Chain A
């Protein structure tokens, strides 16, 4: 004689992750500490025609220090080691591929600084670079490393400059306007929005930014632009976008933005008097050209 087992189930309270669950990182689109959002070269390429000296290039960093309270930001630009072959990236352990250790070590303190042209800009002279290295870059690429410091914060990075190989030479893209829900955003008067509702942010590039260029003997190509959206507060749905064919699909220059909200977890609260939010949109073309625009708006606790 056999019987089935007696079934029981006792519900029990238990905890798995009550107070120390990791929270996500801040997104790249949120600018709340010292950041470099781009480095513009003017001209966008190194113009070095035969029998002439190369034209010097002015490098200017788009630096944002929203929490700095107007503190000074020190910037230094230095040469990076010449690339003797296309940059190699190396896989180290579980990390994303990195530039090979030799190339990564940039800027090096041992390399001379570029001549400063202002607090956040410097002058790059290809002739000086050739003189410094004793030879021209075999790939026609020169990298400039930069380091910015403000208080305890430091940012390191690099920018690559290339010889102009196509005609016509590249120009930096130009962003003429920034629109919020189709309304032009201006710093004066400040556009005002309420809490909660998402808005559409759109950068308007100058149509001339979509340049046509061609290598000798090749069909002309039209540049495309990639946009990077940043805001000092609120949430952007995308950080980077890209136009498809020379601006034919301008929808991709848009991003959705949600104004900041009170957050009981972090204690953040939108001030009663409202707060200013600054947008930074950076556009990059295919040949190293870069342009940006920034605008402010005011966020109010109640709809304007």
Chain B
């Protein structure tokens, strides 16, 4: 961005100092600027992105030279000095009285803005300026870079960051004013300039496509430089099943399996959900999605970017063996009141953001949503649908940003969510009451963050943040309920420091304090007292203090080669009775641009995850993983890009529960330790992404994952991982029609989850129950699932707001996914619990 400064017309011409009276009635003429000097933009201010207006008072000689310059209200940051030095070199035509030159005093504003140069004021006969602002129709968002032209005068100007523009030298008369900006419909109108005042105009440009705010979904990113997939908000906002929610798009990316049982979890590259983490602004949250990915627990309007890291991530992230989803919230807009209302068939949401007028530099944003699919379907369908797992949920979030100085920012973020689902498997038999299944998940959290850009550079950033989370869940099955309450406190300090243009360093500390207590306690009557239950052993509560130090360098080694070495040290202490766990995670990533169209990439790294169960079994070690990836990206056409990645993940020292029990007094007592590090695993596969950028009104991608995930206990044979899905195919496409109509589809195909077949039930005549005689573990699969979603949307843009209406047809051909197989008491009959079938979603979104 070039640096310029704009000279405004003198705001006021004062009377000249008292002079000897003339004999004739004096006729006063104004001085006219004939030589304009461009002041150098103060370097510090430019780095900080600061703009200013310096109000000057110029004392002119009879020759029109500037004798003296006063700054009426100093603004600092070097602006005053620069403006004064430039103004001293201005030349004016002399002011005259009765034709005789006189001294004069002139006041003017010297404005410093960060934009391209505008035309300097013309000399010549008195003229008026054209002042104006260009905004986006529907959102009132200022548009920068718009070209405003006066064809008759052959003059043009470009709008600055605030959407403002100025053109000089208009003599009174009628002009054609044209406004143009790529991706917006051009606009022109005839306007009349009058002699005694500036011509002030406001334009609203209608976007060719709707683009109210920016959100990025970055896939497979380990550092900004290694980013290989970036999805713009405009590309995803009309995808079915997404509703503009960038976080939900993660489930459409390669490597993400369909979640089991509609649980709000992510299964990334054949890992357990607990091996992957969901971060919000760098801190852990319990879950990111409401049931079955129905909606993100955070309003889409408040999301800035989403980083999806399926593996091989940098040293900034750790304590996970699987993948990372890192969601960043955005700063509330500082001008005006904005918001959105989204009433839809299955959920509704509301967001608002505004600066606080009575507290300068404080901006607020808040949102909430409520999902009522379950209550709605039950109201309509009654008992007929009572057996489907139907959810209801709500969430809320609020963010406040305070910037006491340009280089400091304080952020407070508070949010929470709750999910509830109930499945009532009713039958005519009273004994079937145990089939009632209810789940509740809820959490609330608060984060406080301070960001400091030191030495005035935005890329030299120090971030200190703290987070508190309280999570609770309960599960009720067969009259028994399990309740779990967890909370944790996290602290993160991160420093980004560019040393040279080719070398950037990042390092910091991450700590977590987490109280530990026994698993959920059973409450309520036991369903069948004749059946043995697993013995529960109580343990004394403990507390885990996890600390990590990490450092990473991004070295642009030789032109197209980027190397990112990193190291992370993890250390976990327990309050008592447990020895500390420590581990080292060396990591290395590289990216080589062979040519502008082809890039190779690779990563290798070690990852450790703390064994929190060590407080119960002190011998446990951290779990380990080795991630290795190699891939390539190639742009095969202007809008078409192909990405291929091979990955391998070796898992070791996995914590596993006992699989052998002995029956004693109707209690199943584990043989050996409660937990061991005997688990091992391997995951390997291929991910392919063929992507068509938003071009010629078409956008979409085909994502395919072929993978195999296996587990075993040390010394035994590998068996399929319980959540393994061999084939994952996702096709998304969106097409923009004229008049703001959008059509889109999403198709997903996924292999069914493995299951263990049962050959027969064996009747235990001693205790009157049946034991399953299983086949090979996980040697069968539930049926594959496939689902097609369609969406049509229409947007109406008004001057100050916009309205979007959509109709979504989810699961168009009613293919209900098999979620779980369950058996009759004697294992002679099998049924499958099915997911939700077809449903339409009709809704509106109002934004302003």
A16 contacts B837, CB within 8 Å?
Answer: yes
Q: In A1-24, which residues have CB < 8 Å from any B CB? A: 1-18, 20-24
Q: In A54-95, which residues have CB < 8 Å from any B CB? A: 85-95
**Which residues of A sit under 8 angstroms from B766, Cβ to Cβ?**
158-160, 284, 288
B431 contacts A236, CB within 8 Å?
Answer: yes
Min CB distance, B89 to chain A, in Å? Answer: 43
Partner of A96, one of B337, B657, B772: B772
B765 contacts A36, CB within 8 Å?
Answer: yes
Q: Which of B99-107, B384-392, B408-416 contacts A (4 or more CB under 8 A)?
A: B384-392
Which residue on B lies nearest to A237, using beta carbons?
B430
**Which residues of A sit under 8 angstroms from B771, Cβ to Cβ?**
96, 98-99, 104
Q: Mark B803-830, 1 if CB is under 8 A from A, else 0.
A: 1010000000010100000011110010
Docked complex Cα distance between A37 and B764 (Å): 10
**Which residues of A sit under 8 angstroms from B763, Cβ to Cβ?**
36, 155-158
Partner of A88, one of B377, B657, B661: B661
**Which residues of B sit under 8 angstroms from A51, Cβ to Cβ?**
none
Q: Which of A25-33, A128-136, A212-220 contacts B (4 or more CB under 8 A)?
A: A25-33
Which residue on B lies nearest to A18, using beta carbons?
B384
Query: Do A92 and B384 contact each other (CB < 8 Å), given the known contacts A12-B840, A28-B825, A240-B529?
Result: no
B772 contacts A94, CB within 8 Å?
Answer: no
Q: Does any Cβ of A come within 8 Å of B207's Cβ?
A: no
Docked complex Cα distance between A99 and B761 (Å): 12
Q: Does any Cβ of B come within 8 Å of A165's Cβ?
A: no
**Which residues of A sit under 8 angstroms from B345, Cβ to Cβ?**
9-12, 14
Docked complex Cα distance between A157 and B827 (Å): 13
Min CB distance, B725 to chain A, in Å? Answer: 16
B848 contacts A2, CB within 8 Å?
Answer: yes
Q: Mark B384-402, 1 if CB is under 8 A from A, else 0.
A: 1101101000000000000
Docked complex Cα distance between A10 and B764 (Å): 56
A157 contacts B428, CB within 8 Å?
Answer: no
Which residue on B lies nearest to A258, using beta carbons?
B430
Q: Mark B821-848, 1 if CB is under 8 A from A, else 0.
A: 0011110010111101111101111111
Interface residues on chain B, number (Cβ under 8 Å)? 89
Q: Which of B595-603, B631-639, B773-781 contacts A (4 or more CB under 8 A)?
A: B773-781
Partner of A15, one of B801, B837, B844: B837
B429 contacts A235, CB within 8 Å?
Answer: yes
Min CB distance, A265 to chain B, in Å? Answer: 8
B839 contacts A14, CB within 8 Å?
Answer: yes
Docked complex Cα distance between A86 and B664 (Å): 9
Which residue on B lies nearest to A35, using beta carbons?
B826
A27 contacts B663, CB within 8 Å?
Answer: no
Min CB distance, B307 to chain A, in Å? Answer: 31
A235 contacts B659, CB within 8 Å?
Answer: no
B661 contacts A91, CB within 8 Å?
Answer: yes
**Which residues of B sit under 8 angstroms from A17, Cβ to Cβ?**
381, 384-385, 387-388, 816, 834, 836-837
Q: Does any Cβ of A come within 8 Å of B756's Cβ?
A: yes
Q: Does any Cβ of B come within 8 Å of A100's Cβ?
A: yes
B765 contacts A39, CB within 8 Å?
Answer: yes
A238 contacts B431, CB within 8 Å?
Answer: yes
Q: Which of B338, B388, B430, B754 has the most CB of A within 10 A?
A: B430
B801 contacts A3, CB within 8 Å?
Answer: yes
Partner of A237, one of B431, B758, B837, B843: B431
Q: Does any Cβ of A come within 8 Å of B23's Cβ?
A: no
Min CB distance, A197 to chain B, in Å? Answer: 14
Query: Do A22 and B668 contact each other (CB < 8 Å), given the known contacts A6-B844, A27-B429, A89-B662?
Result: no
**Which residues of A sit under 8 angstroms from B846, Cβ to Cβ?**
4-7
Docked complex Cα distance between A228 and B336 (Å): 72
Which residue on A lies nearest to B836, using beta carbons?
A16
Which residue on A lies nearest to B847, using beta carbons?
A5
Partner of A91, one of B377, B659, B843: B659
B774 contacts A93, CB within 8 Å?
Answer: yes
Docked complex Cα distance between A100 and B842 (Å): 54
Which residue on B lies nearest to A284, using beta carbons?
B768
Query: Do A98 and B772 contact each other (CB < 8 Å), given the known contacts A89-B661, A91-B659?
Result: yes
Q: In A92-122, which residues have CB < 8 Å from any B CB? A: 92-100, 104, 106
Q: Does any Cβ of A come within 8 Å of B86's Cβ?
A: no
Docked complex Cα distance between A282 and B435 (Å): 25
Docked complex Cα distance between A242 and B380 (Å): 42
Query: Do A93 and B778 contact each other (CB < 8 Å), given the known contacts A3-B800, A17-B385, A25-B825?
Result: yes
A88 contacts B660, CB within 8 Å?
Answer: yes
Q: Does any Cβ of B come within 8 Å of A263's Cβ?
A: yes
**Which residues of A sit under 8 angstroms from B661, Cβ to Cβ?**
88-91, 97
Q: Does any Cβ of A come within 8 Å of B459's Cβ?
A: no
B425 contacts A22, CB within 8 Å?
Answer: yes
Q: Does any Cβ of A come within 8 Å of B427's Cβ?
A: yes
Q: Does any Cβ of A come within 8 Å of B760's Cβ?
A: yes
B381 contacts A2, CB within 8 Å?
Answer: no
Q: Does any Cβ of B come within 8 Å of A123's Cβ?
A: no
Partner of B848, one of A5, A154, A160: A5
Partner of A86, one of B432, B532, B662, B774: B662
Q: Does any Cβ of B come within 8 Å of A239's Cβ?
A: yes
Query: Do A263 and B668 contact each other (CB < 8 Å), given the known contacts A5-B845, A87-B662?
Result: no
Q: Does any Cβ of A come within 8 Å of B511's Cβ?
A: no
Min CB distance, B221 to chain A, in Å? Answer: 34
Docked complex Cα distance between A89 and B428 (Å): 33
**Which residues of A sit under 8 angstroms from B832, Cβ to Cβ?**
22
Docked complex Cα distance between A10 and B376 (Å): 13
B663 contacts A87, CB within 8 Å?
Answer: yes
**Which residues of A sit under 8 angstroms from B767, Cβ to Cβ?**
284
Min CB distance, B840 to chain A, in Å? Answer: 5
**Which residues of B sit under 8 angstroms from A27, Cβ to Cβ?**
429, 431-432, 825
Docked complex Cα distance between A23 and B377 (Å): 18
A20 contacts B834, CB within 8 Å?
Answer: yes
Query: Do A38 and B429 contact each other (CB < 8 Å), given the known contacts A6-B844, A97-B661, A156-B762?
Result: no
Q: Mark B323-355, 1 if CB is under 8 A from A, else 0.
A: 000000000000011111101010010000000
A15 contacts B839, CB within 8 Å?
Answer: yes
Q: In B358-399, which residues have CB < 8 Å from any A CB? A: 377, 380-381, 384-385, 387-388, 390
Docked complex Cα distance between A205 and B767 (Å): 19
Partner of B668, one of A7, A97, A258: A97
Q: Mark A214-230, 1 if CB is under 8 A from B, else 0.
A: 00000000000010100
Q: Does any Cβ of A come within 8 Å of B528's Cβ?
A: yes
Q: In B284-337, which residues have CB < 8 Å from any A CB? A: 336-337
Q: Does any Cβ of A come within 8 Å of B405's Cβ?
A: no
Docked complex Cα distance between A256 and B662 (Å): 34
B337 contacts A2, CB within 8 Å?
Answer: yes
Q: Which of A22, A106, A237 has the most CB of B within 10 A?
A: A22
Partner of B824, one of A14, A25, A288: A25
Q: Does any Cβ of A come within 8 Å of B530's Cβ?
A: yes
Q: Does any Cβ of A come within 8 Å of B26's Cβ?
A: no
A24 contacts B432, CB within 8 Å?
Answer: yes
B429 contacts A26, CB within 8 Å?
Answer: yes
Q: Does any Cβ of A come within 8 Å of B140's Cβ?
A: yes
A2 contacts B801, CB within 8 Å?
Answer: yes
A24 contacts B426, CB within 8 Å?
Answer: yes
Q: In B166-189, which residues have CB < 8 Å from any A CB? A: none
Query: Do A89 and B663 contact each other (CB < 8 Å), given the known contacts A15-B837, A20-B834, A95-B774?
Result: yes
A8 contacts B772, CB within 8 Å?
Answer: no
Partner of A157, one of B380, B532, B762, B833: B762
Query: Do A4 and B831 contact each other (CB < 8 Å), given the known contacts A16-B390, A27-B432?
Result: no
Known: A16-B388, A240-B530, A242-B529. 9 other contacts (CB 8 A): A7-B844, A10-B843, A15-B381, A15-B814, A17-B837, A18-B381, A25-B829, A97-B532, A256-B430
Can you report 22 residue pairs joining A to B where beta carbons are below 8 Å apart?
A8-B343, A9-B345, A15-B839, A17-B387, A17-B836, A18-B384, A20-B834, A22-B834, A25-B825, A88-B662, A89-B661, A91-B657, A95-B774, A97-B532, A99-B762, A104-B771, A156-B760, A156-B761, A236-B431, A240-B528, A240-B768, A288-B766
Query: 3 nearest interchain CB pairs?
Result: A5-B846, A157-B763, A24-B427
